[in-house]
Structure 1
Amino acid sequence: MVKLIVGFALFISLSAQAATWRITYPRPMSESDKRSIYPVKLLALALEQTGVQYSLMPSERIMLQNKALKRLMDSRDVNVVWSVTDKQREQQLLPIRIPIYKGLIGWRLLLIRDDMPARFKYVQKLEHLIKLIPVQGRDWPDTKVLQANGFNVTSDNSYGNLFNILRQAQGDFFPRSVVEIWDEIDNPAYNTDLMVENEIAIRYPEAMYFFVNKKSRPLANLLEKGLEKAIENGTFEQLFVHTFQDKLDRAKMSSRHIFELENSFLPTATPLERKELWYQPEEASAEN
């Protein structure tokens, strides 16, 4: 009888190890949308660190971010979404509190029309920049951050249409993170009549996390375990540097005039004290 119980327990253990974790994430908005490449690679890295069997697939349908988050809340279509965190999202969903971009999502360069550089030469103080109109996604936490800092924001639900809004002079600049802007400006689908402004940057504390459904604690624990292991053994940093060092070099942040903004929407549980989770910048000129 004892042998039977031990054998059954071993069978259950082996079956659990052999089970496949099926991870579904939001499908990119288009074939030219490269924003999913790094998060998917990081997801795969985290899962590989745990030794589990897994499948990693995009959702069948394209979903705007707000819809993807609602689907995640309802346990439909997706079971992992990456998103900038704020207090509301952490109340509705379960965050894995490891910033996947090491805070660079809050380092913003300005996408502008190519006939506008001269106008930005006169921006010497934050009060000058606030007089210009930024473009942002309607349901993005960044929109609330900009508004709380005094900006009058033009917004739209469609990611692709934001470039058109800027191009049509319905806004003056489109703040994009240093990890996103170079893929966008190099992409013919987005870059017509646009350029990256050369002298200004905006920076505020911000984290993008992997989120899962509130009831998906085992998946959250699995991803957290894998990410922590990748941080410990250096593979997280290797992927990060391989993906973003060229973009950081291209941004030349140390030579830019950086305007620091407040982010009152950042949850108090954000692990700001864990220095290894955040990119450490070189000295740069900053203005509050």
Structure 2
Amino acid sequence: MLKKLILLFVIFLSFSLNAQIKVIYPKVQERATDDYGYRILYLALTKSGVPFEISISKEIVNFDRARTQIKSGEVSVVDFGTSAEFESDFDAVYFPIDMGISGYRLFIINKTKADVFSKVKNIEDLKKLKAGQGQGWSDVKIIENAGVEVVTTPLFESLFKMVNGMRFDFFPLGMEEVYGFLEKYKDIAPNCIVEEKIIFQYPFARLFFVKKGNIELRDAIMKGLETAYADGSFQDLVNKNFKSSIEKAKLKNRIIIKVSNPNLTERFKKIPEKYFYKM
């Protein structure tokens, strides 16, 4: 009898372990392993009520490579700034994990250009200057659609070297990340500052994406995010990570240059407004 009970327990334990969702998150060069996206993912899975096991891939990759890894199944989920292309290639979790804050862009510039940017008042002025962005970023098409020339590179840290060397005029980054990244790369961009007069804004957000057909993981993440929002733990994590940067940005003192986002899908537009940040 005891042997039968032990056998049943082993079978049950094996079934329980196999029932776990196994999640592999990519190690993207633009982000640390303790990145906000990873923490939001962990929160969502915890709140989903679904057993899970999460790990981080060993290979450091850029966003283009992360997209390939999702398609091949090497990783399970990644968060991107959304685009129609991404939403077509993958199954999106339609919840803005950054509340759309990444659509509020500040500029890293060489400090010798500060006077030039002090004279920028609108998009027509900005069109006279050149932006830098990462290869494969969805922002590239948005900025180009606004009439601004964009220089791209596959290596994230190269963007700091290039703006420091004035290979282009400004490097737009989300206001939630710009100060942290400039501090991180200050040794290779010693002449750079965060421009103080402009905020470049467009409808945008970071979403989680999973491989096409991975409905179980997609739905678990969505359920967890909705639950975390309802109980306030999502907002707590947003504030913990972004509040100081938003305050430092001094938005009320800035000129807002708004442009459209031609990459927005009809499905994205249906995301409830309550999930988005408002100035």
Q: Distance in 1 between matches of 2:15 and 2:188?
A: 48
Q: Distance in 1 between matches of 2:18 and 2:189?
A: 46
Counterpart amino acid of residue 23 in structure 2: I
**Counterpart among 82, 87, 94 of residue 85 in structure 1:** 82
Q: How does 1:1-288 map to 2 (within 5 A)?
A: 15-16=15-16, 19-29=19-29, 33-34=31-32, 37-75=35-73, 77-187=74-184, 188-189=186-187, 191-272=189-270, 274-281=272-279
Counterpart amino acid of residue 69 in structure 1: R
Query: Is the Cα contact below 8 Å between 2:100 and 2:206 reproduced in 1?
Result: yes
Give the drift of 1:19: 3.3
Q: Distance in 2 between matches of 1:199 and 1:174?
A: 14
Q: Which of the pair is proportionally richer in helix?
A: 2
Q: Distance in 2 between matches of 1:138 and 1:120?
A: 25
Percent of pairs with identical residues = 27
Query: So what's the TM-score if we normalise by structure 2?
Result: 0.90
Q: Distance in 1 between matches of 2:131 and 2:161?
A: 13
Query: Is the Cα contact below 8 Å between 1:35 and 1:180 reproduced in 2?
Result: no
Query: Is the Cα contact below 8 Å between 2:28 and 2:66 reproduced in 1?
Result: no
Q: Distance in 1 between matches of 2:135 and 2:253?
A: 31
Counterpart amino acid of residue 121 in structure 1: S
Question: Secondary structure, in 3 states, of the residue corresponding to 2:225?
Answer: helix
Identify unmatched segments of 5+ residues in structure 1: 1-7, 282-288
Change (3 A) 1:268 1:12: farther
Query: Is the Cα contact below 8 Å between 1:28 and 1:36 reproduced in 2?
Result: no
Question: Secondary structure, in 3 states, of the residue corresponding to 1:99?
Answer: coil
List per-residue Cα deviations over 1:173-196 (Å, max 9, x = no partner).
000101110111222355421100
Give the drift of 1:67: 1.1
Question: Secondary structure, in 3 states, of the residue corresponding to 1:201?
Answer: strand
Give the drift of 1:13: 11
Counterpart amino acid of residue 147 in structure 1: E
List per-residue Cα deviations over 1:181-229 (Å, max 9, x = no partner).
0111222355421100011110000121110001211111111111110
Which shifted more, 98-107 or 36-45?
Answer: 36-45
Question: Secondary structure, in 3 states, of the residue corresponding to 2:266?
Answer: coil
Q: Distance in 2 between matches of 1:44 and 1:225?
A: 13
Counterpart amino acid of residue 19 in structure 1: A
Query: Is the Cα contact below 8 Å between 1:26 and 1:78 reproduced in 2?
Result: yes
List per-residue Cα deviations over 1:100-128 (Å, max 9, x = no partner).
11001110001000211111111122211
Change (3 A) 1:14 1:34: closer
**CA RMSD between the two structures:** 2.1
Counterpart amino acid of residue 49 in structure 2: G
List per-residue Cα deviations over 1:131-178 (Å, max 9, x = no partner).
000001121110110111101111111111111111111100000101
Query: Is the Cα contact below 8 Å between 2:123 and 2:146 reproduced in 1?
Result: no
Q: Distance in 2 between matches of 1:17 and 1:231?
A: 28
Counterpart amino acid of residue 29 in structure 2: M
Q: Distance in 1 between matches of 2:157 and 2:122?
A: 30
Query: Is the Cα contact below 8 Å between 1:18 and 1:52 reproduced in 2?
Result: no
List per-residue Cα deviations over 1:16-54 (Å, max 9, x = no partner).
587332211111428xx4485111111111111123332
Change (3 A) 1:159 1:262: same
Which shifted more, 95-104 or 186-195?
Answer: 186-195
Q: Distance in 2 between matches of 1:238 and 1:163?
A: 31
List per-residue Cα deviations over 1:64-96 (Å, max 9, x = no partner).
101111121121x21111101111111110000
Aligned residues: 269
